Structure 1
Amino acid sequence: MPTISVEQSLLNQIMEKHGFVHDIGVLADQLPLLGTDIDSCNETVLDIEIFPNRPDLLSGETLARAIRNFIHHEDAKPDLEVVKGEISLTVSPELRDIRPVILGAVVRGVKLDEDDIDSFIKSLMDHQEKLHFALGRGRKRASIGVHDLSSIKPPFHVKAVSGNTKFIPLAMDEPMSINQILENHPKGIDYAHLLDGFDLFPVIVDSNDSILSFPPIINGSHTTVGDETRDFFIDVTGWDLRSCESSLMLIASQLSERGGIIESVEVTSHDGNIGNYPNGKAVCHKLPCEILDGLLGRKLTDDEISVAINRMGGKFISRNEGEISLEMPRWRFDILHHVDLVEEIAIGHGYEDLGTDVPKAPMTSIARSDGNLRRRIRDSMQGLGLMQIQSLTLSNDDDQFNFMRFQPVGEVTRITNPITIDHTLLRQYLTPGLLRLLSTNQHHNLPQSVYELGTVVRDHENCDRVAFLVAERSGGFAAVRGRVQAFMRDLGSNDYVIEKLPDGEGPWLAGRSAKVSVAGLHVGCFGEIDPFVAECFDLKVPISGAEFSLTNLETAISDPV
């Protein structure tokens, strides 16, 4: 989770401007109730850890806005104050397949003290990078550019250019072509993969045809924010409108907390649609009273709800026909479901004041029908030296099917509105999650031996499976076959059959894979992972493993207990 350091002097300055007293003791006592972990809170600096669901707290300025509502009970303003500007930005049609979402905003008249300029620029850049991580998913979904408005001449135009186009990128003194930037510039090396496969590249130019940005890679050198910068132009580009819009509003909000005035930019998108951004109007949410009362375990009055949601930066509108109307800021990217609104009200009201209760339903437990089988599977896996893990049930087509060469079983259960391209469906196999785990743990020594006993979703029905992987320099097919034989022995099966698996069926290396059947029922398969499959997960070590159907194992092998 991201950690930010905020100078107490900045918080004190913003609080005084709004007529509040900045009390460090009160801050240390109450801020954790908002859902942040304080690492340190002394007279000089506040170090806090921000949970991923609150990207609106990733700068000192936007955190100060939340503190005023939550601790000082300032009247919340879910609308972002935006005045209509005169600057326009036009996107060429060819950007539809390159970088389709492009937004802009202007902030003028930011007020800075001479002593604060360096720390402000550092915090602005730090906020930008944290948003790239939290909302932009490493600049995939959204990337942000902040420019000195005085150094560029509107109107702006976004167009696609060849890799031979040259300009002077940030932190460089000489012009470089786009191809050279992608190959040699530090930022180009880091993010070149986002533009793999493109022959044309997006650039933002002003009316003088000067390149001010090459998104999502680097800005032009001449637009660098400096000590004299007081007027800013912000561009946000990407593939996801919600991520881009939230990023734009949060950067603009940070500057407005410093006294800046936000102006809208008229954006003509690649399809000819015209819109003014940022759109500061709050989002209206409807929350059924039944859900609120049921989850909280008590009924709150309208006044209690109003106070609670105000502390969270929102506004209570009305209660009509069993439904509550609330307004929340548009930059609250995390508000996706009724449960999110209930959580906001619970935090604003205070969990300590929700009361206590006892369960109304009988809670007598009974053993699962497959409990003994699961216990024997875990005992066997642990006996083989494997560590149990639990990976995400959400996955994507590449991990589940394209990389693994697995075929979908029945219909795939997909997420209607996925937050990230990495989590677009419910998994059908466990092995991809184990490969992802090994990929993120390459800094640890070999061997690495893991297994998972978990649920997958096939044809919209839950199924249980078990899989294991072993990454080791020695071993191979003989080693994994020995593990599978020991596993089947531990389950009490002696009449299983091991047969050759057809080449190309699953992630297994041709000629080094097999399937396991019991009484004619296919229960699983095992083998060495094909190096081409492993490379899709950035793995370069020999890996072997297996995956079994728990349902078929339970059917084919009788319970000896």
Structure 2
Amino acid sequence: MWNQTTEKAIIRKEKHLEEEEEPSEDEEVIYKIEVPANRYDLLCLEGLSQALRIFNGLDPIPTYTVANISKESMLRMHVKPETSQIRPYVVCAVLRGVKFDEARYNSFIELQDRLHQNICRRRTLVAIGTHDVDTIKGPFTYEALPPKNINFVPLKQTRSFSADALMEHYKKDLILKKFLHIIEDSPVYPVIYDCNRTVLSLPPIINGAHSAITLQTKNVFIECTATDLTKANIVLNTMVTMFSMYCERKFEVEPVEVTYTDGRSYVSPDLSLYQMVVPLSYITTIVGVSLPAYEVARQLNKMQLPAKHSLSEKNETSFTVSVPPTRSDILHPCDVAEDVAIAYGYNEILKITIPSLKPQSLNQFKDLIRTEIAMVGYTEVLTYILCSSKEISTMLNREDDKTAAINGNPRTADFEVVRTTLMPGLLKTVGHNKDHPKPIRCELTYSDDFEKCSSAAWLIFEVCDVVRLDEKKDVGASNHCKLAALHCGATSGFEVPTCNLLILLRPLCVIIEIVIADTGLVDRIMELNGAPFVSPGDNMGYYIESSKEPEYLAGRQASIIYKGEKIGTFGIVHPQVLRNFDIPDPCSFVEINVEKFL
């Protein structure tokens, strides 16, 4: 998307000037172009102009190649094991015979800055270093050393600094001080040396002055250090594909071998195409326009996605789409369909009236459950789907079963994994509110004369998803909708959840004989689903059986079996679990997988 403006209008808007206040800038027309956040190839003028020329049929789609040289003649980067403490990955490449002028040089620097702000997440994930390869000598080493052991002359400086002194120096720098926090608290700093122990860079802070590139530089060495190898490869590919057009051998990049002390090695960059098969019917359905195969292929070529169509044995047309290294945003067939729509033109697609939509059956069921539980006096809470790993393991007296999806970049220890149970969230809610007065609830508690009495207690519930690792899913994990409810009060016991929370135990022979109330929570849920209470072993309804879950008190817990499958548990929460969550009063808890009813 683009719009036309002028430098004067931009200055007036930025400085909030009135119409009569004229800025000094001229009225030269400027085009402002909005670039999608995932189109890293459009972050520089080279990529943008190339994309426009290909779109308009003025240029063919370039073929990027890796120079065919032997491993013996390749430059090498040796990675020391200490780097695993701070930035474990590095990828490299060389551009040979580059012809810089002032505009190209400035664009080269600006692309690095834009990538640092975008995919590199302000250099926390990836940091780019560029060097004049004629001023240094391989093989190179990527190390992690104590800051006092690193000494070099940084870019735009004239004297040598130790790394710790350099950090103090840059605390006054308006630009670089924003990146110091990434490594300043680490006992070791990452550093790249050549074979003469000349420092190339102190990533992600600054490059060395010795290897600085200039307008006269002909051969450029690019290194990307990272905490995320996938993003490092994307960044490196973007840099080399955009500026290999200025190389003596156009669109050719020289590879570098990266080796680790444990024997691992790889060659970067990887500029190979990968193939994606997309049915024509899928594309036309998504886009909403019936297009012939040749027209879809033409639109994809405009978007730099070479495509060939073929017929299957079932006489169905499919496209084999070749995804180039510049299009890291193409991850799924829906991305291919989106590019067809963009190339065809959104304004050319016939607008249709969206039919009235109906909520999914699971959502309808969840709303019904919420209403029924609220009607018997429970308050709904919404807790974080992320939690610490210990909250779903040791704090619940459980062993870590390795089924939790791990957050790769948690901001705090409280958000390390995706929860596998709703119990920690409800227990934390009570623990955080224990100093507040408990609400007065009219609970059904049965004494010898069956009189109703009221007491103060927390009655809370949640209906939400938990996540577990699942190799059968394309994303590696699956969601499960669960209902959990908690009763916390001075009289909480096994008879309370049965009469007040879990009254689904009609012939309770495991623990205690109880008179069944008509307002039982799980009884209501089972009744809503037409699930009768049956004898153990009968698969036509539900029944309970004793269980041995570590988060519950032994002998005061049970499993809920529905149509022969375990769908939940309930019982009195173990005292140690209550202490772990700093809860002084006894609690009863139930958790059920509600998807099993659909």
**Same fold, judged at TM 0.5 (above):** yes
Structure-1 residue corresponding to 2:298: 307
Does residue 1:269 correspond to 2:259, yes or no? yes
CA distance in 2, matches of 1:403, 1:74: 63
| Matched AA of 2:257 | V
What is the deviation of 1:248? 0.6
| Matched AA of 1:153 | K
| Matched AA of 1:282 | L
Structure-2 residue corresponding to 1:531: none
**SS of alignment partner, residue 221 of structure 1:** coil
- Alpha carbons of structure 1 residues 121 and 329: separation in structure 2 relative to 1, 3 Å: closer
What is the deviation of 1:316? 0.7
Alignment of 1:86-485 (within 5 A): 87-92=74-79, 94=81, 97-98=84-85, 99-114=87-102, 116=103, 119-120=106-107, 122-130=109-117, 133-134=118-119, 136-163=120-147, 164-181=149-166, 185-186=170-171, 187=176, 190-193=179-182, 201-257=189-245, 261=250, 262-270=252-260, 271-272=262-263, 275-297=266-288, 299-321=290-312, 322=316, 323-355=318-350, 368-371=364-367, 374=370, 412=403, 414=405, 421=409, 426-428=418-420, 454-457=464-467, 460=478, 462-464=480-482
Higher CA-based Rg: 2
CA distance in 2, matches of 1:204, 1:54: 30
Spell out, residue by residue over 1:391-436, the C-alpha distance to the aligned partner (whole angstroms, 9 max, x if none): 8x6x586597599989699873649xx9x655997544689999xx
**SS of alignment partner, residue 61 of structure 1:** helix
Which has the higher relative contact order, 1 or 2, with Cα contacts under 8 A spaced 6 or more apart? 1
| Matched AA of 2:345 | G
**SS of alignment partner, residue 157 of structure 1:** strand
CA distance in 2, matches of 1:413, 1:278: 33
- Alpha carbons of structure 1 residues 94 and 370: separation in structure 2 relative to 1, 3 Å: closer
| Matched AA of 1:463 | C
What is the deviation of 1:62? 2.0
Spell out, residue by residue over 1:459-513, the C-alpha distance to the aligned partner (whole angstroms, 9 max, x if none): 855225699xxxxxxxxxxxxxxxxxxxx9xxxx999xxx9985666984x3x56
**SS of alignment partner, residue 79 of structure 1:** coil
Aligned partner of 1:48 among 3, 10, 34: 34
**SS of alignment partner, residue 51 of structure 2:** helix
Alignment of 1:13-28 (within 5 A): none
Conservation of the 8 A alpha-carbon contact between 1:314 and 1:329: yes
What is the deviation of 1:234? 0.6
- Alpha carbons of structure 1 residues 507 and 398: separation in structure 2 relative to 1, 3 Å: same
Structure-1 residue corresponding to 2:544: none
| Matched AA of 1:44 | I
**SS of alignment partner, residue 62 of structure 1:** helix
- Alpha carbons of structure 1 residues 334 and 169: separation in structure 2 relative to 1, 3 Å: same
Does residue 1:61 correspond to 2:46, yes or no? yes
TM-score by length of 1: 0.60
**SS of alignment partner, residue 234 of structure 2:** helix
Overall identity of the aligned pairs, in %: 24
CA distance in 1, matches of 2:238, 2:229: 14
Spell out, residue by residue over 1:144-198, the C-alpha distance to the aligned partner (whole angstroms, 9 max, x if none): 1122334323443334444423222335443333444456644588355458666
What is the deviation of 1:225? 3.4
| Matched AA of 1:59 | C
Spell out, residue by residue over 1:108-138, the C-alpha distance to the aligned partner (whole angstroms, 9 max, x if none): 4444444x377436514423423xx41x344
CA distance in 2, matches of 1:218, 1:314: 37
Conservation of the 8 A alpha-carbon contact between 1:429 and 1:456: yes
Conservation of the 8 A alpha-carbon contact between 1:183 and 1:189: no
CA distance in 1, matches of 2:2, 2:346: 26
**SS of alignment partner, residue 269 of structure 1:** strand
Conservation of the 8 A alpha-carbon contact between 1:95 and 1:159: yes
CA distance in 1, matches of 2:264, 2:6: 44
- Alpha carbons of structure 1 residues 45 and 514: separation in structure 2 relative to 1, 3 Å: farther
Conservation of the 8 A alpha-carbon contact between 1:76 and 1:311: no
5+ residue gaps, structure 2: 8-26, 427-460, 470-477, 486-499, 501-518, 522-571
Bigger shift: residues 276-285 or 324-333: 276-285
| Matched AA of 1:43 | V
CA RMSD across the alignment: 5.4
CA distance in 1, matches of 2:124, 2:226: 7
CA distance in 1, matches of 2:198, 2:54: 42
**SS of alignment partner, residue 364 of structure 2:** coil
Conservation of the 8 A alpha-carbon contact between 1:314 and 1:326: yes
**SS of alignment partner, residue 29 of structure 2:** coil
- Alpha carbons of structure 1 residues 425 and 121: separation in structure 2 relative to 1, 3 Å: same
What is the deviation of 1:325? 0.7
What is the deviation of 1:269? 1.8
What is the deviation of 1:330? 1.9
CA distance in 2, matches of 1:507, 1:284: 51
| Matched AA of 1:210 | T
Bigger shift: residues 104-113 or 278-287: 104-113
Spell out, residue by residue over 1:431-470, the C-alpha distance to the aligned partner (whole angstroms, 9 max, x if none): 9999xxxxxxxxxxxxxxxx99743336855225699xxx
What is the deviation of 1:68? 2.5
Spell out, residue by residue over 1:247-305, the C-alpha distance to the aligned partner (whole angstroms, 9 max, x if none): 11111233235567553133142154555432322222222445434434555322112
Conservation of the 8 A alpha-carbon contact between 1:76 and 1:315: no
| Matched AA of 1:326 | V
**SS of alignment partner, residue 255 of structure 1:** helix
